[in-house]
Amino acid sequence: MSNLENVYGVHAVESLLRHHPKRVKALVLAEGRSEPRVQVLRELAEEARIPVSTLSRREMDEQLDGVHQGVLAKVSPSQVWGEAMLDELLDRLAEPPLLLVLDGVTDPHNLGACLRTADAAGVHAVIIPKDKSASLNATVRKVACGAAEVVPLVAVTNLARALEKLRQKGLWVVGTAGDAEQSLYQQDMKGPLIVVMGAEGAGMRRLTREHCDFLVHLPMQGSVSSLNVSVATGVCLFEAQRQRLLKG
């Protein structure tokens, strides 16, 4: 099983067992874990005929980095979406698309948190550049609490070119920038939309910024000058969701 990935944490493993059981090749639980939510994992695995074994907590600590919660799934490698699959997804949508672009988010904890927020806000796909971005690893999955298994993550070779193609399909691109004149709350976000978040500190790259139709800032009232990218992502996506719900 050397070619398999480790996915750990109760929420991430449960999401895999519910949505992609064929990818799960083995479930490993820490000895002594028998509470209801772990029992659910055992039942889902047995229903899908996935072998279940146990390890001591010490052995799991030695094998895994991070907070594993005594739950580990051995899974076939994850498939990051390609641009062609994104086109298919957009063609199938019966509602205006809402996409999230993360330009240069390299911290896996931030990527995982953004995926979790994207799922909660009804985002149809998250787009990242293949280079200079965190990849879909065990840390991302753990922080995402299952969202990494249900929100398509699309890696593109050239982000600026991908944005231009999406603009030609009728999507509007709204980028976030601290120096933007317009506030997030002044921006119409009800139609086919791409929200672009830049890396912490550096923000969006120049070419990405040039492919935005609108630039907005988040009004800041306190002494800090910026928010963590996952928090800022949540603010922007839920403003888009609020506007869309009001429209209905």
Distances (CA, A) of 10 to 1, 122, 176: 21, 22, 34
In this structure, what CATH number is given to the domain that contains residue 171?
3.40.1280.10
- Would you say 104 is a known binding-site residue? no
pTM, full prediction: 0.78
Predicted local distance difference test score (pLDDT) of residue 196: 97
Same domain, 92 and 196: yes
Domain boundary among 75, 94, 126: 75
- Pair (140, 222) in one structural domain: yes
Angle of CA points 117, 155, 76, to nearest 5°? 85
Q: Is 16 annotated as a binding residue?
A: no
Indicate if 138 and 236 belong to the same structural domain: yes
Residue from 139, 138, 140 nearest 119 by CA:
140
Residue type, 109: H
Phi, psi angles (nearest 5°) of residue 123: -70, 140
The residue segments making up the domain with residue 235 are 83-247
Indicate whether 68 and 143 sit together in one domain. no
Q: Does 87 lie in the same domain as 71?
A: no
pLDDT recorded at residue 43: 94
The CATH number assigned to the domain holding 67 equals: 3.30.1330.30
Evaluate whether 178 touches 215 at the Cβ level (below 8 Å).
no
According to the model, what pLDDT value does residue 173 have? 98
pLDDT of residue 143: 83
Residue 218 assigned ligand-binding role: yes
**Which pLDDT does position 64 carry in this prediction?**
77
Q: Mark whether 162 and 98 lie in a shared domain.
A: yes
Which among 46, 75, 104 is the end of a domain? 75
Task: Specify the pLDDT at position 75.
Answer: 86
3-state secondary structure at position 36: helix
How would you write 139-195 as a 3-class SS string? HHHHHHCCHHHCCCEEEECCHHHHHHHHHHCCCEEEEECCCCCEEHHHCCCCCCEEE
Residue that terminates a domain, selected from 75, 106, 126: 75
Per the structure, how many domains does the chain have? 2
Is the Cβ–Cβ distance between 94 and 117 less than 8 Å? no
> What gap in Å lies between CA 78 and CA 136, rounded to an integer?
8
User: In this predicted structure, what is the pLDDT of residue 161?
Assistant: 95
Are residues 192 and 171 part of one domain?
Answer: yes
pLDDT in tens, 137-195: 878 877 887 777 788 899 999 999 999 999 999 999 999 998 899 999 999 999 999 99
Q: Which residues of the chain have pLDDT under 70?
A: 1-2, 78, 223-225, 247-248
Per-residue pLDDT, 221: 77
